[in-house]
Chains A and B, each alone.
Chain A
Amino acid sequence: MKDEDKEDRLLSLLAARRSDAFWAGQKARIMAARSEIRGIARAWLLAPAAIALVMAFALTRAPRHEPAAEPQAVTVAFLENLDMLDDMDVLEAVPEEEL
């Protein structure tokens, strides 16, 4: 046998021999695994939309912050006016015409 033929024969011996059913089953498993990956990838594509929905829902449901209550400001002003009562002695000392 020629050297090249012998090499070819040796190389063909080293190949894995399996039935057609084996190769078909293996191919089906690979295709199924790829489909799973694509399914997961598609699910991730929906993530931004889902996040936007959740944020919109949260914003519409969140209690609005009311502006600072007016009565509180009045109360502060009122107390400041009360402080002025301490100066009543001064006020009493001012002639009525000057008030």
Chain B
Amino acid sequence: MSEIGTDEPQGHAPPEPDETGFSGIIEEHQRHVYSLALRLTGNAAAADDITQETFISAWKHRKGFRGESSLKTWLLRIAANKARSYWRWKKLRAWVGLGPREPDGEAPSLEELLPDDPAGRPEQAAAAAELERRVQAAISALPRCQGEVAALRAQGVKVAEVAEILGMAEGTVKAHWFEARKKLETALGEYL
């Protein structure tokens, strides 16, 4: 993988990824980007769209990535901004009376949740679907700032990087995470 794929800040413009490099970047980061988008929108189709748009935007503006933050942080910032745009767009549609185009909290299809190993599929799929529903409900119940902080922390992003992505002070991020964590532990206690 090219240097652009590393997680640490480079401090200088990284080389442009070629076909293989871009493919590797997607593989390395798509789970984080999709997870963040899913937790922030609560909608599987929107999360898929945001993931695709995030990587395409990153590709289009790859010359603008100066390596001051890690590639992962950069991608997650793009995804978080797109998730905010998604909510603005939804509010606008509601305001002009168009209403939601798709039902809120659209769940992933069973096919998406099914494990690749066919053994024990029905039980695993049912358990995965229930866990998914509970986790999403718990995050969606959080105030927006706490939800954003929790969704980013879940991608392994450090407090300082969360602060950078969301444009908050580190202390504010810590306070939001403290509150979010208490609520999530209460809601998901049986899984912990």
A35 to chain B, nearest CB (A): 9
The answer to whether A14 and B151 touch across the interface, beta carbons within 8 angstroms, is yes
* Among B65-73, B81-89, B95-103, B106-114, the stretch in contact with A: B106-114
Give A9 to B55 CA distance when docked, in angstroms: 28
Give A1 to B189 CA distance when docked, in angstroms: 12
B51 within 8 A of A: yes
B163 within 8 A of A: no
Report B162-192 CB contacts with A as 1/0, cut-off 8 Å: 0000000000000000000100110010011
A15 within 8 A of B: yes
B60 within 8 A of A: yes
A19 within 8 A of B: yes
Which A residues are CB-close (under 8 A) to B23?
27, 31
Chain A, interface size: which category? Answer: 20 to 34
Which B residues are CB-close (under 8 A) to A18?
31, 34, 108, 112-113
* Known contacts A6-B192, A30-B56; A17/B132 CB under 8 A: yes
B156 within 8 A of A: yes
Which residues of A, 1-48, contact B by the 8 Å Cβ criterion?
1, 6-7, 9-23, 26-27, 29-31, 33-34, 37
B77 within 8 A of A: no
B150 within 8 A of A: yes
Give A16 to B47 CA distance when docked, in angstroms: 11
Which B residues are CB-close (under 8 A) to A9?
191-192
Contact of A20 among B48, B113, B116, B139 (CB under 8 A): B116
The answer to whether B188 and A13 touch across the interface, beta carbons within 8 angstroms, is yes
B135 within 8 A of A: yes
Contact of A26 among B51, B60, B132 (CB under 8 A): B51
Give A11 to B151 CA distance when docked, in angstroms: 9
* Known contacts A13-B131, A19-B115, A34-B22; A26/B52 CB under 8 A: yes
Give A1 to B135 CA distance when docked, in angstroms: 21
Closest to B112 in A: A22
Report A51-69 CB contacts with B as 1/0, cut-off 8 Å: 0000000000000000000
* Known contacts A10-B181, A16-B38, A19-B114; A30/B139 CB under 8 A: no
Show the binding face of A for B, using Cβ within 8 Å: 1, 6-7, 9-23, 26-27, 29-31, 33-34, 37
Closest 5 CB pairs of A and B: A14-B154, A16-B35, A30-B55, A22-B112, A16-B38
- Given A14-B135, A20-B116, A22-B112, 4 new contacts (CB under 8 A): A10-B185, A15-B31, A19-B115, A23-B30
